[in-house]
Amino acid sequence: MFIFLLKYVSLGVLVFQTTSLVLTMRYSRTLQGEGPRYLASSAVVSAELLKILTCVLLVYKDHSFSIRALNNVLTQEIINKPMDTLKLAIPSGIYTLQNNLLYVALSNLDAATYQVTYQLKILTTALFSVSMLGRRLGVYQWLSLLILMAGVALVQWPSDSSQAHEQLTTGSQFVGLMAVLVACCSSGFAGVYFEKILKETKQSVWVRNIQLGVFGLVFGLMGVFVYDGNRVREYGMFQGYNHLTWTVVALQALGGLVIAAVIKYADNILKGFATSLSIILSTLISYFWLQDFEPTR
């Protein structure tokens, strides 16, 4: 009963988190501020740090707020089991690559085309769940996945393609499409790989998330120095941060925690349904509340 409740609470929080993140990011991007804009690569690192800190606090709470017990768990489960910890480098590295690929995708494709194509991850996730976890899907489940994918794609389909194409700056659609297609495969694979590790071993989801986060932090910092090294040297790591940036960082960190809980208590396929529900929800809010979206006929 408790697990059942956790499953639906985590799915509900994921819908809330995805919706608020999309809207806050959109707002923070349209807001004109003074000075340099915050670096996306730095925001990724901050979110990763916040996620690790929260997970450490959750493990601390799970061990009756004892520093000694926390120390024991972290030493035994993370430091003394290097091979086990190293396994998490795989999904972590793939997620870092994926986050960079999505950046490449968005530099070469308009947002609508990107959203449509990225929904293919629902199908890759189902395929990886079948092949890696031995999950069986009935004809109706496959059909509902296909209908869901088609439905979300239609909602996002650009109405006036010439307008969408005009928004394209330099860059190649082909490169963008390739990037998003590889990201669909990596999203499905990394999600299902993380699910396999979570469900086949006994470690707590928060310990697993610390392991994932530590590699994420290392890969993320490498990203900061490769992409934005010069800008960081000039204006610092936290240039252009404001309260909205911190809200986006907090929502992103919450996303990592909630996705981990959803993968543990539900699964990656239900996660796909929850995030598509949030696409519909954010469309409705942006239309009725923010008057930011004109639906087509």
Interface with ligand C5P includes 194 (CB under 6 A)?
A: yes
| Contact of 195 with 267, CB cutoff 8 Å | yes
Helices marked H in 134-237: 139-156, 161-166, 173-200, 205-235
Instruction: Write each residue from 69 to 98 as x if it is in contact with ligand C5P (CB under 6 A), else as -, in one continuous string.
Output: --------------------------x---
Interface with ligand C5P includes 276 (CB under 6 A)?
A: no
- The rounded distance, in Å, linking the Cα atoms of 51 and 231 is 25
Q: Which is nearer to ligand C5P, 223 or 255 (CB)?
A: 255
Q: Tokens at residue 145, please? A: 């996945």
The residue from 52, 78, 212, 277 that contacts ligand C5P (CB under 6 A) is: 212
The residue from 46, 99, 100, 124 that contacts ligand C5P (CB under 6 A) is: 99
Computed on alpha carbons and rounded to an integer, the radius of gyration of the chain in Å comes to 20
Output the smallest distance, CB 166 to ligand C5P, in A: 28
Helix orientation angle between 173-200 and 111-118, rounded to the nearest 10 degrees: 40
Q: Which is nearer to ligand C5P, 40 or 69 (CB)?
A: 40
Task: Match 């650009």 to its residue by tokens.
Answer: 158
Interface with ligand C5P includes 260 (CB under 6 A)?
A: yes
Burial class of residue 32 in the structure, from the number of CB atoms within 10 Å of its CB (0-12 exposed, 13-18 middle, 19+ buried) = exposed
Q: Which is nearer to ligand C5P, 38 or 206 (CB)?
A: 206
Q: Which is nearer to ligand C5P, 60 or 95 (CB)?
A: 95
- The rounded distance, in Å, linking the Cα atoms of 70 and 72 is 5
- Give the residues lining the site for ligand C5P (CB under 6 A): 95, 99, 187, 191, 194, 209, 212, 255-256, 259-260
